[in-house]
A and B are shown apart, each in its own frame.
Chain A
């Protein structure tokens, strides 16, 4: 059975903190004021770095030292990259890569 009350509390915690993070910059730098140049610069260069960070984040649980040595993830990521370079279609890349991964961990490894 799921713990309804505890689950609702955790969702509330995640919701409130998420909103706090999103609204904080707008509270620190209220409208009308000039945004510092370094902040504008970071607004441009951080997105690619953040997305790269998220890729590593998604793969953090992969264990290279125990079987299957991260092979399903490696193959599935390679499939996503190959599909995307080939078709350049986000949906095909995501569905293809995910299907590949599901088959690998359910039936192969």
Chain B
């Protein structure tokens, strides 16, 4: 099959990326507003959206920064919240082979939402060149995020209503992503396992460190269930 021209690939990447643009802008604004309420100008959320580039950690960072948390606490929270990034990178090892220097940007830009777009092979038609697709999806995603964070930071001081609870946007996003996983996959045990183990881990280990034991147990159980669990490639429709 004849491959697309670069401009067609870029257009396709933009089209896919548009699906997550609204939620990224809303979440970014939520984060920017929280930073603004904590006394940080719009430059801070923008800096963090480039330096950290990870929504969940950035939301947690608002509390860390404004309370003057220690370096150790910050390090532990970063490792706990972003442990899943290790898993994302693991699953992109094969797909990102032969990407040259662009691989550095792709790895840096591998966040929850871009991961969902680059790791689902079935949403990429055969005539689309994967290399530009990966790069431009990642780039567009980050652009929406940076715009959202900047907008939130700028709007924060002038928003006329109480924004308490706006951080729920994060929860809502993950509930939607989980629901999509459950609706699109016949094999739902990994999702249920994730809920069950994490909840038990929270009860046993407490809020501070429960993510680490949860990740270890989930990974261990999934490895044990290998051969019994089959996830089909989810299709476009």
Contacts and interface: CB of A to CB of B under 8 A. Distances in A.
A102 B171 CA distance: 13
B91 A18 contact: no
A61 B211 CA distance: 14
A65 to B, nearest CB: 13
B2 interface: no
Given A53-B218, A57-B198, A77 B48 contact: no
Contacts of B188: 48
Contacts of A41: 223, 226
A21 B84 CA distance: 9
B89 A26 contact: yes
B107 interface: yes
Interface residues of A, number: 68
B236 interface: no
Chain B interface residue count: which class? 35 or more
A6 B177 CA distance: 35
A28 to B, nearest CB: 9
Q: Interface residues of A: mostly helix, strand, loop or mixed?
A: helix
Contact of B194 (A43, A49, A81, A93): A49
A33 B129 CA distance: 23
B207 A60 contact: yes
Contacts, number: 263
B218 A90 contact: no
Interface string B189-219: 0111111011100100001001100110011
Given A41-B226, A81-B175, A90-B22, A9 B71 contact: yes
Contacts of B89: 21-26
A42 B219 contact: yes
A105 B166 CA distance: 11
B29 to A, nearest CB: 11
B8 interface: no
A102 B74 contact: no
A11 B78 CA distance: 10
Given A55-B195, A102-B164, 7 more contacts: A10-B65, A13-B75, A25-B86, A26-B89, A39-B91, A47-B119, A85-B179
15 contacts: A7-B40, A11-B52, A22-B107, A22-B110, A35-B93, A39-B90, A47-B181, A49-B191, A49-B194, A49-B222, A73-B171, A76-B168, A94-B176, A97-B175, A102-B168
Interface of B: 19-20, 22-23, 26-27, 30, 38-40, 44, 47-48, 51-54, 56-57, 61, 64-66, 68-69, 71, 74-75, 78-79, 81-94, 96-98, 103, 107-108, 110, 112, 115-116, 119, 162-166, 168-179, 181-182, 185, 188, 190-195, 197-199, 202, 207, 210-211, 214-215, 218-219, 222-223, 226, 229, 231
